[in-house]
Structure 1
Amino acid sequence: MDQTLYFILLLIALCSVSECVQRQYHFINEKTTWTEAQRYCRENYTDLATVDNMNDMNEINKVIKPKQSMGNDHVWIGLQWTGLDKWQWSSGEPVLYLNWATGQPGSSREECAMMRNGQLHDKKCSESLTFICRSSNNTDTRLVFVNQMMNWRDAQSYCRQNHIDLVSVRNHNENQQVEKIMNDSHISDVWIGLFRDSWQWSDQSDSSFRFWYKTEPSHAGNTENCAGLKQDNTGEWHDLSCTSSPKSFVCYEDAELILIKENLTWSEALRYCRQNHADLVSVHSEEIQRRVMNVVKWPSTAAVWLGLRHSCTVGIWFWVSGETVCYQNWAPGNGTSEEDCETAVRSGAVQSGGDQQWISRPETDKLNFICRRNLQ
């Protein structure tokens, strides 16, 4: 009984593994338009730089400053204006819960959100309110009420400099926590970390992290639809014309995963990865799947090999690296236990287009493949 319980707990632990997204940034000191920079990054790395948080900003500043003297020029990143509004959290977390008051959000261009009586209202970002930050003492997360009147952008900067960020209200429980702080402080309205904009990352990332200069984005002349960071001590962002003035740019690639654009059989791909890197990639979590989807955007084949193999002996799929197949992302009709073992051994690949789901392919097919780098 004890051994059975141990095995179950071990399996749960293996199935809950989640890695942090890691990016390596590369400063390209060539002057191009935004579109040309995007094309270069996609051909040589993964895409133009995506930024999730201040740690990413610090890493970008590190790769820029040793190679470029300080000045007033800008450097392209992968943010572009789309014209399609979307509500987002300042912290970059997904928006899954929004407790809007009746009639909210309104039809006017009020692009920030406050809380009143436990419900959300949209409001002009330029107005001044008190606000609530999310903080941490390294053991737990807590909320901090700041009894200072600031506009939304200044409140965001204050929280990022002194705590973590403006508070995100991600569920009913957090909604009640914020409401309690407001009642205890006898405050009717507070800024929270909700805002809306029309900017989208080149790699289609959901990251809602923004680091605009205080007067940006300005949309001057309705032509400034691309983002660049200022080459100064802060690296704050400005909206710029995508074509008027060529600029240097920053690309990124996954720190752990690499797409190999050679057409090899599954066994040849496995041998290549183990000789030159660590192994064929194992996709054992949703987080790894998202990273694979970014890496696999620009292959030369319709599908790309994964480290997924079918055993005809026991009728199961397994990762050759040893991870348990807990998370699954099979396309309909694929990944069944009744594989055709008479014709060829089957291996797993991820589709290059569409929803980028997994498919079963004969191991003799010749495809691109994804290796996991050896980070030691």
Structure 2
Amino acid sequence: MGRNGRPELMLLLLFNAALLMETTLLKTIYLISQELTWTDARQFCQKNHIDMITWDIVDPNQLTKWLQEDELTAVWIGLHEDPEQQSVWRWINVKTGEGLTGEDVSESSYWSEQSKNSYSCGSYNSSRKKWFSSVCSDTLPFVCYGDNLVLSTENKTWEEALDHCRKMSSASYKYDLLSVTRPDFSYVRDRIYRATSEEVWTGLRFLGGEWWWSDGETLDQQEMLPDCPSQWQHCGMLSKYNTANWTSSDCSERRNFICNYVKLQK
């Protein structure tokens, strides 16, 4: 994808092979050439996309290649020293949008030989392929990410949620209730963390003895949901907390929902 005069280069990561209209989970990487402090860079990412990049979102080798092609050397990433544990480094918490999360990565092989305890904010050098501890008030380009998911915190029935998602469609994009053949459950569960209902509607519906996605595809793993659901328990949802991938409920109940979209082929 070429440059278009904007201060960001958008790169698409397809996590499932896509046919012309097959719905997939897409993660989008934004290389922002504008130079900001670490805090301002993160606020920019959260305002305009989802958050700053973390190492589990992107293939580091692919990111390095993109940065080198765009002639970006040192960039902010979502890495920070734990303010409560000196010399302990963690990734930002992209689920809550606040604080840090995950294991201590202080001993990762990605660190440069320079002391990682000198400063508090993490940057990545695409030329040396290493992380550096940097002064948070320094200004650097940075990397954000987004996806093709849209969480709605309105409470609607399944049919109302379906109608809401589809009305968001345009000449360029087709929206639907979340319908993906091989979803990354942990990622999607993180994305619905801020829902105001414990479960959110997805595009799963029981029809004709099978579970179907609202985009017309059948659920690959039918055993994930009851093969003979009780009366009215014919709509599929995902829980923020339940480790079960899918659960079913009465379609007339009202809860939050999650949409996804695909770009229409010209």
Confirm or deny a common fold (TM above 0.5): yes
What does 1:1-376 align with in structure 2 at a 5 Å threshold?
19=16, 22-26=26-30, 27=32, 29=34, 31-34=36-39, 37-38=41-42, 41-42=45-46, 44-50=48-54, 51-59=58-66, 74-80=74-80, 200=91, 202-203=93-94, 212=110, 216=112, 218-220=114-116, 222-224=117-119, 226-230=121-125, 234=127, 236-241=129-134, 243-245=136-138, 249-254=142-147, 256-275=148-167, 276=169, 277-285=174-182, 287-311=183-207, 314-327=208-221, 330=224, 335-341=225-231, 344=232, 346-353=234-241, 355=243, 357-364=245-252, 365-376=254-265
Q: For the structure 1 residues 295 and 217, does the alpha-carbon distance in structure 2 shift closer, same or farther, using more than 3 Å as the test?
A: farther
Number of residue equivalences: 220
Asked whether the equivalents of residues 175 and 261 of structure 2 are also in contact (C-alpha less than 8 Å), the reply is: yes
1:357 is matched by which residue type in structure 2?
N
Q: Which amino acid aligns with 1:373?
A: V
Distance 1:321 1:347, change over 3 A: same
State the SS of the aligned residue for 1:271: helix
Letter in 1 for 2:179: S
What is the DSSP-based 3-state SS (H/G/I as helix, E as strand, rest coil) of the residue aligned with 2:185? helix
Deviations 1:36-88 (A, max 9, x none): 655664565333213314323344566x76xxxx7x8x432123467xxxxxx
Task: Tell me if the contact between 1:80 and 1:202 (Cα under 8 Å) persists in the aligned partners.
Answer: no
User: Quick one: distance in 1 between partners of 2:242 and 2:162?
Assistant: 25
Say whether the 8 Å CA contact 2:52–2:78 is kept in structure 1: yes
In 2, the alpha carbon distance for the partners of 1:46 and 1:216 equals 28
Deviation sequence 1:201-239 (CA, Å, 0-9, x none): 755799x9x895xx715334x254542134xx7384432
What is the CA-CA distance between 1:31 and the residue it aligns to?
A: 3.1
1:299/1:228 Cα in 2 relative to 1: closer, same or farther (>3 Å)?
farther
Structure 1 residues 355 and 239, CA gap change in structure 2 (3 angstroms): farther
Unaligned 5+ segments in structure 1 are 1-17, 83-196
What is the SS of the residue equivalent to 1:373? strand
TM-score, structure 2 normalization: 0.61
Q: Deviations over 1:141-161 (max 9, x none)?
A: xxxxxxxxxxxxxxxxxxxxx
What residue in structure 1 maps to residue 85 of structure 2? none
The residue type equivalent to 2:181 in the other structure is H
Q: Helix, strand or coil for the counterpart of 2:64? A: helix
Are the structure 2 counterparts of residues 327 and 288 from structure 1 closer, same or farther at C-alpha, using a change threshold of 3 Å?
farther
1:167-202 deviation line (CA, Å, top 9, x unaligned): xxxxxxxxxxxxxxxxxxxxxxxxxxxxxx976575
CA–CA separation in structure 2 for the residues paired with 1:362 and 1:352: 18
On the 8 A contact 1:257/1:373 being kept in 2, the answer is: no
Q: Cα offset for 1:375?
A: 4.8
Partner Cα distance (1:352, 1:242) in 2: 36
Supply the distance in 2 between the matched residues of 1:324 and 1:336 (Cα, whole angstroms). 14
Q: Which has the higher helix share?
A: 1
Deviation string for 1:231-281 (max 9, x for gaps)? xx7384432257454655322012x43334444332222223333134222
Q: Distance in 2 between matches of 1:56 and 1:236?
A: 10
Identity %: 25
Q: How has the CA–CA distance of structure 1 residues 360 and 216 changed in structure 2, closer, same or farther, with 3 Å as cutoff?
A: same
User: Normalising by structure 1, what TM-score?
Assistant: 0.46
Give the equivalent residue in structure 2 for 1:119: none
Distance in 2 (CA, whole Å) between partners of 1:261 and 1:235 is 43
Mapped to 1, the partners of 2:130 and 2:37 lie a distance apart of: 18
Q: CA RMSD in A?
A: 4.1
2:4 aligned residue = none
**Residues 349 and 216 of structure 1: is their aligned pair in 2 closer, same or farther, counting only changes over 3 Å?**
same
Which runs of 4 or more aligned residues in structure 1 lie more than 6 Å from their structure 2 counterparts after TM superposition? none
The residue type equivalent to 2:219 in the other structure is V
